[in-house]
């Protein structure tokens, strides 16, 4: 498969010396693996929640704070995390992040009570806050425009692979060994990944000796930028100041942030209270609730990849950033809202799970175009624009477990939560319809 329907100019006959190296795909593999490992560590909490709550004698409200605390530090440190990647580069930043979230997972396993659980979740959120701003920065350096949304989709797929592995493995592992050992085990992959990333990753193609000139031309041509003395030099270009005022005054960015709030809120319900929701409303076991959660995450994972392919396909054939970004997002979030609403009316657990899985599939189709829209709009300030978007979304995600816990305390009808999230996804569809990714960030 080629990277684009367009081919870079070649000055000589095709042959082995003219074949581009494949380092950009190795970079994407490293970033996708980081996403998977990070979600393995953070999503294990939702399956283990009821076991931890009973073992440590926590209330439902305290458990809601335990699950939600992660997202407060995760939200507020998105921009500092993006700033660190912008200033020091993704290589340094990502290694620091991976070591931090691995230490946090270990601390959860050592926690004697609520205070260390909350501290560990704060550390986990702080460490993972900069992963995706840094990853988007690397994608903007390494991946051509014609494959950028697919790359973002694969990154989002990595998140769901980690979430699915956590959902499937955590319940049986807790049944086999103590939950504390499970979180200790989940801390190991992040430390190993950090060492591997430090040895293998370079900031951009110009500074990686394993990239040949053909691959550099491929990436340069497809990114629609001409090489210059600054980009081909081994010297790091000094980062320009962040145009915060221009970011705040760009309406496309604000609507993009609005859809992220809605998508993150909806996703967080499935990543936090959903197993307990199934245990309460459908009478399933802890282990079975993890498997059913994995079905929903499978819909999300599949949607991430399909969304990337679909968005790139639409862009290549229409040349319309608006149609391939906001058009995709608004249509599929609207469909997600209708499917979640439908699940409220059914009694069959299997049918409800099928409807919710299809709904999360549609919501995930809108995910990669959100990543790409930040790159389209943000230019060289992608980490800051993406960091703010993720901050907004994760403030909503932080509030979600707490507000859902209050809803569960307030009403015995736990199914009412489906009506709430159907409305939230509908609001996200409206926000997407208002996003114009052609309104690029202007610093003038």
Instruction: List domains and CATH numbers for the chain.
Output: 22-203+240-433 (1.20.1250.20)
Confidence of residue 6 (pLDDT cuts 50, 70, 90): very low
The span from the CA of 123 to the CA of 105, in Å, is: 9
Integer-rounded Cα radius of gyration of the chain = 22
pLDDT at 196: 92
Per DSSP, 18 falls in state G
Q: What percent of the chain has pLDDT over 70?
A: 89
Tell me the pLDDT tens digit for each residue of 239-286. 667 777 878 788 888 898 999 999 988 888 887 778 878 887 777 777
The span from the CA of 428 to the CA of 263, in Å, is: 7
How does 244-265 read in b/e, with b if 16+ C-beta sit within 10 Å? eeebeebebbbbbbbbbbbbbb
The span from the CA of 247 to the CA of 244, in Å, is: 5
- Whether 298 and 356 have beta carbons less than 8 Å apart is answered as no
The span from the CA of 147 to the CA of 149, in Å, is: 6
Concatenate the DSSP letters of all residues of 205-267 into one string.
GGG-TTS-HHHHHHHHHHTT----HHHHSSSPPPPPPP-HHHHHT-HHHHHHHHHHHHHHHHH
Residues 6+ apart with CB under 8 A from 61: 405, 406, 409
pLDDT at 240: 65
Higher pLDDT, 401 or 354: 354
The span from the CA of 281 to the CA of 91, in Å, is: 45
Average pLDDT over residues 79-105: 88
**Is the pLDDT score of 1 beyond 60?**
no
**Is the pLDDT score of 224 beyond 60?**
no
Tell me the pLDDT tens digit for each residue of 322-368. 888 888 889 999 999 999 999 888 888 889 888 988 998 999 888 88
Tell me the pLDDT tens digit for each residue of 62-75. 887 888 788 788 87
Tell me the pLDDT tens digit for each residue of 93-127. 999 999 999 999 999 988 888 888 999 999 999 99
**Is the pLDDT score of 214 beyond 80?**
no
The span from the CA of 369 to the CA of 308, in Å, is: 7
Q: What percent of the chain has pLDDT over 90?
A: 20
What average pLDDT is seen over the chain? 80
Q: What is the dihedral of CA 110, 113, 114, 115, to 10 degrees?
A: -70
């Amino acid at each position: 498969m080629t990277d684009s329907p367009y081919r870079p100019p070649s000055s000589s006959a095709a042959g082995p010396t003219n074949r581009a190296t494949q380092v950009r795909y190795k970079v994407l593999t490293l970033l996708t693996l980081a996403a998977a490992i990070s979600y393995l560590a953070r999503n294990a909490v939702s399956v283990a929640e009821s076991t931890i709550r009973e073992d440590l004698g926590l209330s439902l409200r305290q458990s809601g704070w335990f699950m939600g605390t992660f997202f407060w530090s995760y939200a507020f440190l998105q921009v500092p995390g993006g700033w660190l990647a912008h200033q020091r580069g993704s290589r340094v930043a990502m290694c620091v992040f991976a070591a931090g979230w691995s230490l946090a997972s270990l601390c959860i396993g050592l926690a004697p009570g609520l205070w260390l659980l909350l501290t560990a979740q704060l550390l986990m959120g702080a460490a993972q806050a900069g992963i995706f701003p840094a990853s988007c920065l690397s994608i903007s350096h390494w991946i051509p425009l014609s494959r950028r949304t697919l790359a973002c989709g694969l990154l989002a797929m990595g998140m769901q692979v980690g979430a699915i592995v956590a959902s499937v493995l955590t319940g049986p592992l807790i049944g086999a060994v103590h939950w504390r050992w499970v979180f200790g085990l989940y801390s190991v992959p992040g430390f190993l990944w950090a060492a591997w990333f430090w040895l293998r990753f370079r900031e951009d193609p110009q500074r990686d000796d394993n990239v040949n000139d053909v691959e550099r031309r491929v990436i340069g041509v497809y990114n629609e930028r001409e090489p210059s003395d600054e980009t081909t030099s081994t010297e790091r270009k000094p980062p320009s100041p962040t145009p915060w005022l221009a970011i705040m005054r760009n309406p496309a960015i604000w609507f993009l942030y609005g859809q992220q709030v809605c998508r993150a809120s909806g996703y967080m319900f499935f990543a936090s209270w959903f197993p307990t929701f199934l245990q309460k409303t459908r009478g399933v076991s802890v282990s079975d609730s993890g498997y059913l959660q994995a079905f929903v995450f499978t819909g999300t994972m599949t949607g991430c990849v399909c969304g990337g392919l679909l968005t790139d396909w639409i862009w290549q054939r229409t040349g319309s950033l608006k149609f391939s970004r906001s058009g995709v997002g608004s249509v599929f979030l609207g469909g997600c809202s209708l499917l979640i609403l439908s699940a409220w009316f059914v009694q069959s657990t299997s049918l409800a799970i099928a409807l919710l899985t299809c709904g999360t599939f549609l919501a995930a189709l809108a995910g990669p175009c959100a990543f790409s829209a930040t790159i389209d709009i943000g230019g060289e300030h992608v980490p800051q624009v993406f960091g703010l978007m993720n901050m907004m979304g994760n403030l909503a995600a932080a509030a979600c477990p707490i507000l859902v816990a209050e809803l569960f305390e307030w009403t015995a009808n736990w199914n009412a939560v489906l009506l709430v999230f159907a409305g939230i996804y509908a609001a996200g569809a409206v926000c997407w319809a208002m996003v114009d990714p052609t309104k690029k960030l202007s610093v003038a």
